[in-house]
Amino acid sequence: MSLTRRSFALHLAMTPGIGGRSVVRILARNDLLGRTPEEFLALSTEALREEYRLNAKQATNLAYAPDDRLEAGATLERRLDGLGVRLITIADAGYPEAVEAFDPDPPSILFLYGNMRLLQSPTFAVLGSRNTLPAGLNKIEELTEEGVLAGETLVTGHDRPEYQRSAIVPLRWGAPRILVLDRGLFEVLGQDLKDEAFRAARLWRYEFDPNTDLAVSPFRPEARFIGANNQVRDRLVASLAKRIDFVNIAEGGNMARLARLGLKANRRVRLADGVCGREELIAAGAEPL
């Protein structure tokens, strides 16, 4: 079976134990050596470990039943193509520059479904740490509506109150959203990618609209949620936003780190009253709301 670069990247991504950074390292080394995917897959586990810095489990998984997994990967690729899902790695020209500029450890693989033009639009995010109080949730909704009515594109998640409160606002106005997922596309949008991402959103629109919205996942299409996915999702939401508003920042939490990363990446960062570390962040370049 002759593999295209995209097919090979998908095969690597679907191999248990092979993370995004490993995928990129393999692709880059193959390019350097002029090695084809077929030649790579014929290597011994010892060569995989020595030449590509893979551990024993990764090398074994790559060497185990490659023909069966290649066929499964080809089936998945046909399915993704049929649904209009695009796979890009950090080694591809189409990888969002904004993510690389923001995140010191960017996701190396992204699955994208929907309106790709939104990646070039003026984007914003309204963020709050977990357990934001009702007044804070109201502020998230208010700021989101301001951005949407100003013609900006919201970047948000789907499975926390802080994200859901913003994610429903564009639906009221028929405006687009970028939804960043903390699990695979099929786990959130269903096997045919037609489901809206969460129950409250279905009161406004029952089916996900790929002509309007864009769903982005750094996880395999069938991947379920695990705890570590939260931080990956939050960083991706912030990195895709040209402006980041913070309504609530817990002391020492992930949102505080995202605010600092945003300032370092020259993003416009705005802070509501009462957020932890507000004065320090304003001194570093953030704006008060």
Specify if 91 maps to a domain: no
Q: Which structure tokens are listed for 170?
A: 């564009």
**Pair (224, 138) in one structural domain:** yes
At 83, the pLDDT band (50, 70, 90 cuts) reads very high
Specify if 101 maps to a domain: no
- The pair phi, psi for residue 267, each rounded to 5°, is -85, 155
Please give the pLDDT value at position 1: 59
Q: Which structure tokens are listed for 238?
A: 């912030």
Mean of per-residue pLDDT scores for the chain: 93
Walk across the sheet containing 153-156 and list its strands. 85-89, 109-114, 214-217, 177-180, 153-156, 123-128, 243-248, 268-271, 287-288
Q: Is the pLDDT of residue 69 over 90?
A: no
Determine the Cα–Cα distance for residues 73 and 177; give it in Å rounded to an integer: 30
Q: Is the pLDDT of residue 251 over 80?
A: yes
Specify if 93 maps to a domain: no
Determine the Cα–Cα distance for residues 112 and 80; give it in Å rounded to an integer: 10
Please give the pLDDT value at position 227: 85
At 18, the pLDDT band (50, 70, 90 cuts) reads confident
What is the number of domains present in the chain? Answer: 2
Please give the pLDDT value at position 47: 94
**Pair (58, 125) in one structural domain:** no
How does pLDDT run across 26-60, given as a tens digit for each residue?
999 999 999 999 999 999 999 999 999 999 999 99
How far CA 146 is from CA of 12, 66, 237, 245, 253, in Å, comes to: 42, 51, 18, 12, 26
Determine the Cα–Cα distance for residues 25 and 38; give it in Å rounded to an integer: 17
Domain encompassing residue 28: 5-83
Determine the Cα–Cα distance for residues 24 and 123; give it in Å rounded to an integer: 27
**Pair (264, 148) in one structural domain:** yes
Please give the pLDDT value at position 10: 84
Specify if 102 maps to a domain: no
C-beta neighbour count of 78 within 10 angstroms: 10
Q: What percent of the chain has pLDDT over 90?
A: 76
pTM for the model stands at 0.91
